[in-house]
Structures are given as structure tokens and as C-alpha cells.
């Protein structure tokens, strides 16, 4: 028996590429790697054995756009336009944030991610070294970026580079390689042309990815046309900012020529349907993007505009929204939605050789979904339909990330849930008091 080995037996594997379908297999995990998939692995070879009978095994979900610490602002302000939501509610609260608040918010978010089957998330926010601390302790995998905003101010710009680069120096490769650091220029309307051009130069120099919000609202398009005479993607293309290492969140308002620009530059899209619906931002033309072979992944955005981080719910919403907006029930199938939530997310983050599917040699980021639940009976003949349309995050039974079991039989093994809940409740009370004191 080898140390640090886990055998998952009787596993019905649901892979985005449909490998191993309809046949129960055993999976051997050695350290953090999937080392064997076979029906002939000896049980005695592993330190820990998990029986996956009655469960569906799939790769951990990948959430490519969120602001994890904003879990603290869940339900703070609803039913508002993006403008008023940001200006009157979110930004005044964010003014009093500090590293401790962001740490507790990130832990709260991490509990929710693990419990609903997400093993990797891509984050853009502030106090990111405190978020990295929460990632390290929770055992999850993350791509972290600092939200750079300069509004054309040169002094502020210097500070934003200092922040994002020190995050890179201190945290890239941290937590047994589970943390990667990207640049996070907030958007083309909050970051100046100088900032964006320098991000591109440094991203090339340090081989860092880029995480940015683009074309979220119609107002953003109108302002861009008025100020620059170009739509957002036309402008980003003109200044040489785009490339295959760019993950653009939202991409709601796209002209046909912008879809061509995204395709030409192999930009990765993060689709955030719940946030776009809740803020009435619009509907991203996702089925058209997929038709054009563009890599579309999925994100929840922050819990303050969603209001949860349940990726299964997000994928179902993505699928249904495309069907109703195109009046075609055949678009964005459950198979395509499953790929969006797994391998396409991995590809968007440049991690497709490490995660996003169940394959020998890949990192052991694995979840088990319990089918012994009213909403999962009877089994559909199509496993992806069972997961995308019938399941939700609370059906997730076991979550493994980087070969470590973070949750088993719906019990969290890595963090003290109740302590985190009470600290998070206290934090939001304090933040509301600080805001009223201004
Ligand atoms: Zn966002």
C-alpha cells in the first residue's frame, strides 16, 4: 500500500469528451495525480478507498469569473441597475474593506465553492494576498488577479502595477502550485490605454494571463463609441491588447465584427448569465460564439450580483437562456454546458493539460454527485442531462482537489464552516456600521 493514495471504486465517469462513459471504473490517485483508470485496480493498493456506487464522478467545475470576497455582500443590494448598484451600494461598502474582511469573505466563498463542486475559480478583486491565504487553507485551486483601475491617473497606475506584480512575486505557484497569478485590468472603461498597453507588454514578458471585464452593458458600448469612436473589442484590438491569454468576462454586447475579432485573437470568453440577467445587462450571444469555435467558459460573477456560486445552476441558466433567446431548444445542449463548466474553463485559464477532465496524468480534481436524491431519480439515459438540468450544487457529495479530499459525504473536512459563517456575519455588520459612520 502506497502513502497518499486514494482509490475511487465503482465510479461512473462523466467526462466532457465522453470517455469511459457507461462503464463503472476504478480511479487511482497517487499524491495529486490521477495515475490509473481501470476496472482492475487492487483495493489493497490504496491508503483510502471511496465507494462511488450510486454516484456520478466528474471533473471538478471551473468558475472563470468571480470576486470571491464579495460573498460578504450577498443580498446587500438587489433589483437595481448596474450603475446604481455599484455607485450607491457596492463601492461605498468596498471603501471600508481591508485584508481581514476580504480573507473572511474569501473563506465564506470557498466553503460555498467546495460544497457545490467547484475546484478551480478565477478571481479579480483587492487584498488578493489575503484571498491567496484563504485559497491555501481551503485546499482549492485558483487564478488570482488584482483589479487594476487608474481612470487615467498616472500615480494610481503605478500603484496598480505594484500591487499586481507583488501579488505575482509573492503568490504565483503558491499552495503546491494551486495558485496562478494573472493581470486584472478591471475593464476598458476604468483602465487607461497606457495601463492596458503596459499590461500586454508585461503579460508577454512574464507569461501571465489577463482577466478583464468587457462589453457588459449597452451603456459601456455607447460610451466607448462616443469617447473612442470604436466598440470595446475594436478598441482593444486596435491597441494590440488582445491574445489567447485574455479571459474576457461578460461579452454581452457584441457586433459580428467583434465576434470575428474575438475569434481571430483566440480570446477566451467567460459567460456570466445569472449576473447579466439580474442586472438586466443583456444576453450574450453564446450559441453564436460556440458556432464560431470560440472558447466559452462559465462564471458566476460575485455573489453580490448572482446571488450564489452554484455552477450547476449557472450552467442550467446558460443553456435555458440560449434556448429562449434564439427560440431554438437545440442550442447549448447539456453536453456543451458540461464542457463549458469543465474543460473549456480549464482551457480559458491555460490549465487544459492539468485539469478539466478525468484522464491519467491530470491533476486529481474530482467530484462525486449523489444520485440518491428525489431530484435525481430516475436516472436519465443521458448523464449530462442529469447533471445540468436535474442536479444542483447541494447534490455534490464529495470534492477532491489536487488529490486532497476537501469534502466527503457532504461533510467539509478542511474548514470550520460554522466559525466562518459567524465571522462573516460579524464582518458585514461592522462594514454596514462603518458605512453609516461616514
Ligand atoms: Zn465581475
The H or E element that residue 124 is part of is strand 118-125
Is the pLDDT at 20 greater than 80? The verdict is no
For 189-220, write each residue's pLDDT tens digit. 999 999 999 999 999 999 999 999 999 999 99
Kindly state the average pLDDT of the residues 276-304. Answer: 97
Q: How far is the CA of 216 from the centre of ligand 1 (A)?
A: 9
Which domain, by its residues, includes 33? 5-59+357-412
95/371 Cα distance (integer angstroms): 44
Instruction: Tell me the pLDDT band of 247, cut-offs 50, 70 and 90.
Output: very high
In a domain, 51, yes or no: yes
The H or E element that residue 8 is part of is strand 5-13
Q: How far is the CA of 239 from the centre of ligand 1 (A)?
A: 23
With both helix axes pointing from N to C terminus, report the angle between 99-115 and 417-437 in degrees, rounded to the nearest 10.
140
Q: How far is the CA of 251 from the centre of ligand 1 (A)?
A: 11
In a domain, 161, yes or no: no
Number of neighbouring beta carbons within 10 Å of residue 331: 18
Q: How far is the CA of 91 from the centre of ligand 1 (A)?
A: 13
Q: How far is the CA of 69 from the centre of ligand 1 (A)?
A: 12
Residue 355 phi/psi, 5-degree rounding, is -140, 180
Q: How far is the CA of 301 from the centre of ligand 1 (A)?
A: 5
Query: Residue 34: what pLDDT?
Result: 97
Is the pLDDT at 351 greater than 80? The verdict is yes
Is the pLDDT at 393 greater than 70? The verdict is yes
Q: How far is the CA of 30 from the centre of ligand 1 (A)?
A: 36
In a domain, 385, yes or no: yes
Instruction: Tell me the pLDDT band of 2, cut-offs 50, 70 and 90.
Output: confident
In a domain, 374, yes or no: yes
Q: How far is the CA of 305 from the centre of ligand 1 (A)?
A: 9
For 119-146, write each residue's pLDDT tens digit. 999 999 999 999 999 999 999 999 999 9
Is the pLDDT at 267 greater than 80? The verdict is yes
Q: Give the CATH number of the domain where residue 14 resides.
A: 2.30.40.10
329/324 Cα distance (integer angstroms): 7
24/162 Cα distance (integer angstroms): 51
In a domain, 118, yes or no: no
Kindly state the average pLDDT of the residues 285-314. Answer: 97
Kindly state the average pLDDT of the residues 333-337. Answer: 96
Q: How far is the CA of 424 from the centre of ligand 1 (A)?
A: 21
Instruction: State the chain's mean pLDDT as an integer.
Output: 96
In a domain, 28, yes or no: yes
In a domain, 121, yes or no: no
For 401-414, write each residue's pLDDT tens digit. 999 999 999 999 99
307/313 Cα distance (integer angstroms): 11
Q: How many domains does the chain have?
A: 1
In a domain, 16, yes or no: yes
232/112 Cα distance (integer angstroms): 33
For 412-431, write each residue's pLDDT tens digit. 999 999 999 999 999 999 99
Instruction: Tell me the pLDDT band of 438, cut-offs 50, 70 and 90.
Output: low
Cα 348–chain centre separation: 10
Q: How far is the CA of 290 from the centre of ligand 1 (A)?
A: 22
Q: How far is the CA of 428 from the centre of ligand 1 (A)?
A: 20
144/85 Cα distance (integer angstroms): 24
Q: How far is the CA of 52 from the centre of ligand 1 (A)?
A: 36
Residue 104 Cα distances to 43, 140, 275, 406, 416, angstroms: 40, 15, 23, 18, 12
Is the pLDDT at 160 greater than 80? The verdict is yes
DSSP 145: E
Amino acid at each position: 500500500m502506497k502513502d497518499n493514495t486514494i482509490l475511487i471504486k465503482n465510479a461512473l465517469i462523466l467526462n466532457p469528451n465522453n470517455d469511459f462513459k457507461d462503464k463503472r471504473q476504478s480511479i487511482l490517485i497517487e499524491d495529486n495525480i490521477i495515475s490509473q483508470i481501470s476496472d482492475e485496480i487492487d483495493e489493497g493498493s490504496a491508503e483510502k478507498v471511496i465507494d462511488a456506487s450510486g454516484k456520478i464522478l466528474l471533473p471538478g467545475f471551473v468558475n472563470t469569473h468571480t470576486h470571491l470576497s464579495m460573498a460578504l455582500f450577498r443580498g446587500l443590494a438587489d433589483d437595481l441597475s448596474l450603475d446604481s448598484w455599484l455607485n450607491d451600494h457596492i463601492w461605498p461598502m468596498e471603501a471600508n474593506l481591508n485584508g481581514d474582511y476580504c480573507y473572511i469573505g474569501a473563506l465564506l466563498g470557498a466553503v460555498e465553492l467546495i460544497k457545490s463542486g467547484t475546484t478551480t475559480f478565477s478571481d479579480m478583486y483587492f487584498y488578493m494576498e489575503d484571498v491567496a491565504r484563504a485559497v491555501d487553507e481551503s485546499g482549492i485551486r485558483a487564478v488570482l488577479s488584482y483589479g487594476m483601475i487608474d481612470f487615467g491617473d498616472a500615480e494610481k497606475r503605478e500603484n496598480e502595477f505594484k500591487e499586481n506584480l507583488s501579488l505575482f512575486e509573492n503568490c504565483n505557484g503558491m499552495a503546491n502550485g494551486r495558485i496562478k497569478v494573472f493581470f486584472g485590468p478591471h475593464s476598458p472603461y476604468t483602465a487607461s490605454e497606457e495601463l492596458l498597453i503596459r499590461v500586454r507588454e508585461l503579460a508577454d514578458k512574464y507569461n501571465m494571463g489577463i482577466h478583464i471585464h468587457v462589453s457588459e452593458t449597452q451603456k459601456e458600448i455607447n460610451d466607448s463609441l462616443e469617447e473612442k469612436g470604436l466598440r470595446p473589442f475594436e478598441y482593444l484590438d486596435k491597441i494590440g491588447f488582445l491574445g489567447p491569454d485574455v479571459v474576457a468576462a461578460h461579452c454581452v454586447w457584441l457586433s459580428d465584427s467583434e465576434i470575428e475579432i474575438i475569434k481571430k485573437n483566440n480570446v477566451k470568453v467567460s459567460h456570466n448569465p445569472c449576473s447579466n440577467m439580474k442586472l438586466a445587462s443583456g444576453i450574450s450571444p453564446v450559441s453564436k460564439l460556440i458556432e464560431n469555435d470560440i472558447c466559452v467558459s462559465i462564471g458566476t460573477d460575485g455573489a453580490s450580483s448572482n446571488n450564489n456560486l452554484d455552477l450547476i445552476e449557472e450552467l442550467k441558466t446558460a443553456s435555458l437562456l440560449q434556448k429562449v433567446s434564439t427560440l431554438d431548444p437545440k442550442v447549448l445542449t447539456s453536453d456543451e454546458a458540461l464542457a463549458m463548466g469543465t474543460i473549456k474553463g480549464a482551457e480559458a485559464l491555460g490549465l487544459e493539460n492539468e485539469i478539466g477532465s478525468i484522464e491519467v496524468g491530470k491533476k486529481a480534481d474530482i467530484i462525486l454527485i449523489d444520485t440518491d436524491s428525489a431530484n435525481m431519480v430516475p436516472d436519465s439515459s443521458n448523464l449530462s442531462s442529469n447533471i445540468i438540468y436535474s442536479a444542483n450544487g447541494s447534490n455534490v457529495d464529495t470534492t477532491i482537489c489536487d488529490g486532497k479530499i476537501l469534502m466527503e459525504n457532504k461533510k467539509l473536512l478542511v474548514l470550520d464552516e460554522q466559525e466562518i459563517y459567524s465571522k462573516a456575519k460579524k464582518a458585514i455588520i461592522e462594514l454596514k456600521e462603518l458605512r453609516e459612520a461616514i
